[in-house]
Structure 1
Amino acid sequence: MLLILTALLAGVTPASAAAPPARVAGTAMLVDNGPAANRITLVLIGDGYTADELPRFRAQAAATWQALSSVEPFRTYASYFDVRRVDLVSPESGLGPSSPLGMHFDCGGTPRLLCADDAAVSHYAGPTVGPTYMIALADSNAYGGAGGSGVTTLSAGSKDASRIIQHEMGHTVGGLGDEYDAAPGGQSDFPNLSTQDASALSSAHAKWWRWLGAADPSGGVVGTYRSANGLYRPTQDSIMRTLGAVYNLPSREAIIESLYRRLDTIDAATPPPQAGPVAPGRLLTVTPLPLAGGRRLAVSWTVDDRPAPSSALRDGGLSLDTGALALPRHCHAIVRAGVVDTTDWVRDEPFRQARMSASVAWSVGVY
């Protein structure tokens, strides 16, 4: 009793009365779309949820992924992501000094800007394989979030949470800038912002010049529309300007290109091309990254750089029967499978050829 009284008088909480430390109660794969080495893993982790409040966090985590994967281009490319949830138990409910991820509003003097301690998020999220984005959910009903190069944050209890995460992941994945009038001026390094008008962009082959005049999903056409901060944006409206809108075409292209800077169009090839020559009669198979809705990337086959006969193709063009090539004895051929994303949401053809296509080759024949 004297020990407790002395500790209280000294302003120290005795160990027996201290709040329990933060701990990870478990993890769960919400979405498993394939090998982590060729997927982007979204790690969802919460701050300010006690053990009794974890069910709310789990529901909010599921809703976060649902919101993101419901808007294009994330909807079409949802299969490029794995989603892992980390159940972090906070010692106290809500955000505060004891929040294990250090999440807090008014970051940088902006009331709705929600920050987190990136190092703490990485610590509690644990090791990852392959490209990863961290999303920290705050147990708060206030409006707020943040996106960019660090941890993406979201006030998960906000009535606008689903629309906030769609906007913030535009920053994080596409490297997009804010298009609204109150955004800071002078920040034109983003792919969707410019100091130049349409004529200058076209002359310089800069920014979204390939899209100028194109009909946009947001309505109207792609051009250069000046915001109150002096910067030009591609369209009258977009998700980077108004919550609940859609990504305009230049922003969709930026997001898709970002995905392909991290992923390969080919998931697997059998037999492994590096295993050596393949005897005639074997079935060669290529597995491209899957798209949503049963769609897939374009697959083409060549034999010694000439189109493979259609009679040799199997499984809807994913496989080639080498036995159907009728190769002469003591001859060999190079069979190549190419996979490319032909989406019309990308107009940068040099990038498509460099990063959105890949091929594998086998040497087939009897030696």
Structure 2
Amino acid sequence: MSRRLATVLSVLAVLLAGCTPASAAPARAAVVGTVTLVDNGPAANRITLVLIGDGYTAGDLPRFRAQAAATWRALSSVEPFRTYAPFFDVRRVDLVSPESGLGPDSPLGMHFGCGGTPRLLCADEAAVSHYVGPAVGPEYVIALADSTAYGGAGGSGVTTLSAGAKDAGSIIQHEMGHTVGGLGDEYDAAPGGQSDFPNLSTQDASAMTSAHAKWWRWLGAADPSGGVVGAYRSANGLYRPTQNSIMRRLGGVYNLPCREAVIEALYRRLNSIDAAAPAPRAGPVAPGRTLTVTPLPLAGGRRLTVRWTVGGRPAPSAALRDDGLGLDTGALGLGPHCRAFVRATVVDRTDWVRDERFRQARMRASAVWLVGSF
């Protein structure tokens, strides 16, 4: 071989080596789509439930999508989430992981054994926030793990669920009790001394009644879980409202104190009025128009109670319309050149809330207009 040919071959070998990587670049996680599963209204006055997965490859996404849909079905099938399902919008984030199942490369960092508890499933909340993106309004995030092991977690941060577990539907009902209602575990093995929850107390029924504490308003009420609301002592020394509930055993129902806590939590984040027209307090409204108010909807087409008043008195029935209040000054009982304030008050009168002070403060809202002839 001539020196010239050897030189050419050497250069060619170097070029070829430079064009052939020693190893393939590692796969990276990526969001490949965001889908609205349920649209019940404006994000500013709905709670958006975001479902995102960890450990699902592109080929696994059909399974993730089915599990995400099943998660919402399970949550919205139990009261009070069933009745208040229209308070939620549901969004799914399709995140592709480099490998199936949980592992060191799982983009959300989900893992079992958090805090030394084998069934406690945790996630890297900063990573979850990164892939979910900024919230538009009130929001809860559920991170689904591609796992069949039993596990999950709920509370103030990201709610987690082992989406392939046999009891996944019942697990998410329990965990969202923690997240939404701020509820504590009612089972005997739960840690003692943790009574800072609406459904746990260090006091018996008599002490709660005397102090007007915890679920004292519900004591003696027939409960949908069976039996009567009372103060039942667990092995950990704390009292719970009922013998059984979702917060004690999977597959049950929320007892009445727990239902009240969940509903109150929703109203701390939402306004009972979705919209009002024309814009309240924007200026005097002349006769001939119709005032309308749109309450938050409930399941099954049910509506919150709407009460109309004119000058502080109940509006005449002749002025009431199916869609609001007609501004016919004669029907309103207003004389020439008379003005009055018209108020529409929307209130949730559900029997599942007995705290009337809370109802008046957070479960009602009003729209006010100045009307009359000018």
TM-score range, shorter chain: over 0.9
User: In structure 1, what is the equivalent of residue 100 of structure 2?
Assistant: 93
Partners of 1:134 and 1:305 lie apart in 2 by 43
User: In structure 2, what is the equivalent of residue 11 of structure 1?
Assistant: none
* Higher alpha-carbon Rg: 2
Native 8 Å contact 2:50 2:141 kept in 1: yes
Partners of 1:365 and 1:175 lie apart in 2 by 47
Partners of 1:365 and 1:350 lie apart in 2 by 34
Three-state SS of the structure 1 residue aligned to 2:110 is: coil
- Identity, in percent, stands at 82
Cα deviations by residue, 1:271-300 (Å, 9 ceiling, x for unpaired): 111321100111000000000011110000
Q: Match for 1:59 among 50, 60, 66?
A: 66
User: In structure 2, what is the equivalent of residue 274 of structure 1?
Assistant: 281
Three-state SS of the structure 1 residue aligned to 2:367 is: strand
Native 8 Å contact 2:54 2:97 kept in 1: yes
Rate the CA distance shift 1:167–1:350 in 2: closer, same or farther, 3 A.
same
Partners of 1:330 and 1:229 lie apart in 2 by 70
User: In structure 1, what is the equivalent of residue 153 of structure 2?
Assistant: 146
User: In structure 1, what is the equivalent of residue 364 of structure 2?
Assistant: 357
Cα deviations by residue, 1:335-366 (Å, 9 ceiling, x for unpaired): 10000000000000000000000101100023
Task: Tell me how far 1:15 sits from its aligned partner.
Answer: 8.1
Task: Tell me how far 1:327 sits from its aligned partner.
Answer: 2.5
Please list, as runs of the form range in 1=range in 2, the aligned pairs for 1:162-201 lying within 5 A after superposition: 162-201=169-208
User: In structure 1, what is the equivalent of residue 48 of structure 2?
Assistant: 41
User: In structure 1, what is the equivalent of residue 78 of structure 2?
Assistant: 71
Q: Which letter maps to 2:97?
A: S
Q: Match for 1:82 among 85, 89, 108?
A: 89
Task: Tell me how far 1:326 sits from its aligned partner.
Answer: 4.7
Three-state SS of the structure 1 residue aligned to 2:217 is: helix
Rate the CA distance shift 1:103–1:355 in 2: closer, same or farther, 3 A.
same
Three-state SS of the structure 1 residue aligned to 2:114 is: coil
Native 8 Å contact 2:37 2:91 kept in 1: yes
Partners of 1:35 and 1:312 lie apart in 2 by 29
Native 8 Å contact 2:290 2:324 kept in 1: yes
Q: Which letter maps to 2:360?
A: Q
User: In structure 2, what is the equivalent of residue 256 of structure 1?
Assistant: 263
Partners of 2:26 and 2:61 lie apart in 1 by 17
Native 8 Å contact 1:184 1:229 kept in 2: yes
Native 8 Å contact 2:102 2:146 kept in 1: yes
User: In structure 1, what is the equivalent of residue 327 of structure 2?
Assistant: 322
Q: Match for 1:246 among 237, 242, 253?
A: 253
Cα deviations by residue, 1:162-185 (Å, 9 ceiling, x for unpaired): 000000000000000000000000
User: In structure 1, what is the equivalent of residue 3 of structure 2?
Assistant: none
Partners of 1:56 and 1:138 lie apart in 2 by 11
TM-score by length of 1: 0.95
Q: Which letter maps to 2:345?
A: G
User: In structure 2, what is the equivalent of residue 9 of structure 1?
Assistant: none
Partners of 1:340 and 1:173 lie apart in 2 by 21
Partners of 2:174 and 2:154 lie apart in 1 by 8
User: In structure 2, what is the equivalent of residue 226 of structure 1?
Assistant: 233
Q: Which letter maps to 1:72?
A: E
User: In structure 2, what is the equivalent of residue 299 of structure 1?
Assistant: 306
Native 8 Å contact 2:281 2:370 kept in 1: no
Partners of 1:346 and 1:98 lie apart in 2 by 46
Task: Tell me how far 1:35 sits from its aligned partner.
Answer: 0.3
Three-state SS of the structure 1 residue aligned to 2:92 is: strand
Partners of 2:220 and 2:23 lie apart in 1 by 69
Three-state SS of the structure 2 residue aligned to 1:42 is: strand
Task: Tell me how far 1:16 sits from its aligned partner.
Answer: 4.8
Partners of 2:190 and 2:22 lie apart in 1 by 47
**Unaligned residue ranges in structure 1 (runs of 5+):** 6-13
Partners of 1:16 and 1:194 lie apart in 2 by 60
Native 8 Å contact 1:19 1:92 kept in 2: no
User: In structure 2, what is the equivalent of residue 287 of structure 1?
Assistant: 294
1:17 maps onto 2:24 in alignment: yes
Q: Which moved more, 1:242-251 or 1:325-334?
A: 325-334
Task: Tell me how far 1:325 sits from its aligned partner.
Answer: 1.8
Task: Tell me how far 1:18 sits from its aligned partner.
Answer: 3.1
Q: Which letter maps to 2:115?
A: G
Task: Tell me how far 1:19 sits from its aligned partner.
Answer: 2.6
Cα deviations by residue, 1:94-138 (Å, 9 ceiling, x for unpaired): 000000000000001100000001110010001221110010000
Three-state SS of the structure 2 residue aligned to 1:108 is: helix
1:105 maps onto 2:104 in alignment: no
Count of residue pairs brought into register by the alignment: 356
4+ aligned runs moved over 4 Å, structure 1: none
